[in-house]
Amino acid sequence: MSSSTKVAQTRPETGQETAYRRASIAALPGGAFLEGRWETADRILEVRDPEDGVLLGTVCSSTPQDVRRAVAYVYRHLQEGEWTLRERREALDRAAVLLADQAGWFAEIIAAESSKTITEAEREVRRCIETLRLSAGASSELTGETLAFEDSIAGGNKIGWYNRKPVGIVAAITPFNDPLNLVAHKLGPALIGGNGVVLKPSGRTPLTGLAFIQLLLEAGVPAGRLAAVVSGPGVSEAIVTDPQVDLISFTGGPKTADRIAAAAGAKKILSELGGNNATIVCADADAEAAAEAIVSGAFGVAGQNCLSVQRVYVHISLFDDVLDKVVVGSRALRVGAKLDRSTDVGPLISEAEARRVEEWVEEAKALGATVHVGGQRRGAFYQPTVLTDVPADALVISEEVFGPVVSIMPFIQVSDAIRAANDSDYGLQAGVFTESIGLALAIAEKLHVGAVVINGTSDVRIDSMPFGGFKKSGVGREGVKHAVREMTEPKSTIIALAGTATHWQQLTSERNES
């Protein structure tokens, strides 16, 4: 560890903080939500703080039979229970208000069970409030439009329209790194679209998702529209293979997505599968602004972010300047306790993940990479790490690191930087720094990714934008109104105006006689 690296030493919680955390967790109603009620009998799966291993609570170990019960109950409610669009919109609006009222409590749960600092957790809660409001406002996406029968050879004597109808039951499978807002990005659009939802939150961070289910119930979402199971032998397979599940919305890794697709069969699958995101810094860029954005984008949530900056290509004329500034900025970050508001970088989600990142960096070093700062692990903590001279076949370049590591490489020709940025199995987002709008747009056109941020890094998302990527980065798009379209289907109503010509002749005849 560099002597100039700021380290916020992990401090013990005060008695007040410990009591608050435990009271927050104890207030959760149950360990799974099935058949319209909370289950508590099998609360044997432990949830621990990744920072210090403290036991936070327990959730239910569910079974495939539990999944079948949950899905069947939601299916029956969809057939029998009416929940109007106005009621759906009002429930999601109320949920946003309730979440704003309970923001501090939710932030404490997120910070306790995940890798996020309390500041990052509070930011996630604010975003989730917006996601709920956007979901309520997306009711307009269901309206549809009239069909252009008058402009068709086959359209004689017909009128019609289409509107959007729910697909049925949505299975929402969510990750640990955004345990609240990524749940809302699936449940909000699914519910406003009129669907039922079976949620499987990450087994590492399930408490936030279960608390969110309770909030939705309090806001007026019918119990028959929701179910939540966390983990247990065969649970994931039971969810994705259940014949009454109509759509699977999954956020995670491509290997898991492949297994889901193979098991699910002919179901609609939406998947967001991460990224290996590149940023290009051109010769005319603002080196200081680029370096600051790279540090922020690479090390937020300890790098456990699908939009994290992983690969940076800098024009050779700015390379030393940008590298120096990134190293200085990285050393200034404080690594330590999540509840300490001076902390910038908390732990990874587990010590095992920190060990994996450590192994990848050691492999890069063995292949010739240079470590300029970081490169050291302490338990589940891994220091923000800046590498250069990294060969293209090193794991930190070829795979998604999902940890606090960024590699910086020089280029001479912009075409070489574009080629290197595209040389990945992923294609989520990318960043470009340049003062030339023409050059920026030319680069953006060539990058094979879902979004290009000009004079920013890949780490930019608003909750209303279409979110997703090319290649292994996923299938379909999230972003509230776009997800609503994915989770509904157009249904046309066509009216044949039988006898219209005869009626017109009759009216004409009567008019002539008069």
How remote is the C-alpha of 93 from its chain's centroid? 21
Fill in the amino acid letter for 226. L
272 catalytic residue (yes or no)? yes
Total residue length of the chain: 514
- Please check whether residue 38 is in contact with residue 29, taking contact to mean a CB–CB distance below 8 angstroms: yes
- Secondary structure (3-state) at 348: coil
What b/e string do you get for 227-241 counting C-beta neighbours within 10 Å, with b at 16 or more? bbbbbbeebbebbbb
| Distance of alpha carbon 498 from alpha carbon 491, whole angstroms | 22
Place of tokens 């790279």: 294
60 catalytic residue (yes or no)? no
- Please check whether residue 335 is in contact with residue 7, taking contact to mean a CB–CB distance below 8 angstroms: yes
| Distance of alpha carbon 321 from alpha carbon 332, whole angstroms | 17
| Distance of alpha carbon 372 from alpha carbon 374, whole angstroms | 7
Nearest to 291 by CA among 185, 383, 361, 386: 386
Fill in the amino acid letter for 194. G
- Please check whether residue 216 is in contact with residue 187, taking contact to mean a CB–CB distance below 8 angstroms: yes
- Please check whether residue 211 is in contact with residue 187, taking contact to mean a CB–CB distance below 8 angstroms: no
Q: Which of 141, 306, 478, 486 is catalytic?
A: 306
| Distance of alpha carbon 38 from alpha carbon 378, whole angstroms | 38
Fill in the amino acid letter for 62. S
Structure tokens at 417: 């930087």
In sequence order, the β-bridge partners of residue 163 are 491
Nearest to 339 by CA among 8, 103, 111, 9: 111
Q: Which of 51, 124, 141, 272 is catalytic?
A: 272
- Secondary structure (3-state) at 377: strand
- What is the DSSP-derived secondary structure letter of residue 467? B
> Residues with catalytic annotation?
272, 306
